[in-house]
Amino acid sequence: MNYFIADTHFYHYQLLEPNNFAPRHFGNVDEMNQAMIDAWNARVDENDRVYHLGDISMRPQNTPTDAETYDMLRQLNGHMTLIKGNHDYRSLFKFLDKHNKTMADGKSRFEFEDVGSLLKFDHHQFYCTHYPMLLGKVDKIINLHGHIHHYAVPIPENINVGVDAPERDYLSEDLPWGSPLRGEEILEMYDKKKEDLARLQRK
């Protein structure tokens, strides 16, 4: 099964402070990191793939070492397709590739994309990127993205899959904070966001 997530920002202690961009209500960064690990592993098993749409980790003024970020990722289940975000450095991807491991199914644990990935789900196409794209008039194409944290693009075809995304409020199931999202949940978010925006336009 495929899952989707963005903007985990492991180690990013500034997000613990009151802010409008990505407020995370934890006592310390260790609690925040562990909450994301637990939520991820509760859903994802070793045969699943998680598309991480950028910004794995960050520590302002003192960027986590590549080894620290690798240590965080190796605690997470499944295969990962890592799409480069603005806080992901080339050196990190090179380090992860050097320490890449072959899983039981013969596939590598990590795959890397500089710009994005395209995949099909239930007669839709998911364009997975870090930055939101303005696709124009499209049919059954949804841009999954991150980058803007607690904000949303007012276009139904742009779905923020980040940890802090407001579109998560559309889900009928109250998922633990930090949970990667399934394709069915993406479509639920899309349908409800589309209805919500249409209702606002009618007012």
pLDDT for residue 132: 98
Q: What is the CA radius of gyration of the chain?
A: 16
Please give the Cα distance from 124 to 119 (Å, whole number). Answer: 9
Q: Pairing between strand 124-129 and 2-5?
A: unpaired
Q: pTM for the full model? A: 0.96
Enumerate domains of the chain plus CATH numbers.
Answer: 2-201 (3.60.21.10)
* The predicted structure's pLDDT at residue 5: 98
pLDDT of residue 201: 84
pLDDT of residue 151: 96
Q: What pLDDT score was predicted for residue 171?
A: 98
Please give the Cα distance from 92 to 105 (Å, whole number): 25
User: What pLDDT shows up at residue 53?
Assistant: 98
Query: Which pLDDT tens digits describe the chain residue by residue (203 residues)?
Result: 999 999 999 999 999 988 888 999 999 999 999 999 999 999 999 999 999 999 999 988 788 999 999 999 999 999 999 999 999 999 999 999 999 999 989 999 999 999 999 999 999 999 999 999 998 888 899 999 999 999 999 999 999 999 999 999 999 999 999 999 999 999 999 999 999 999 988 87
What's the confidence (pLDDT) of residue 137? 85
Q: Are 19 and 151 in contact (CB under 8 A)?
A: no
Q: What is the pLDDT of residue 203?
A: 72
Q: What pLDDT sits at residue 187?
A: 98
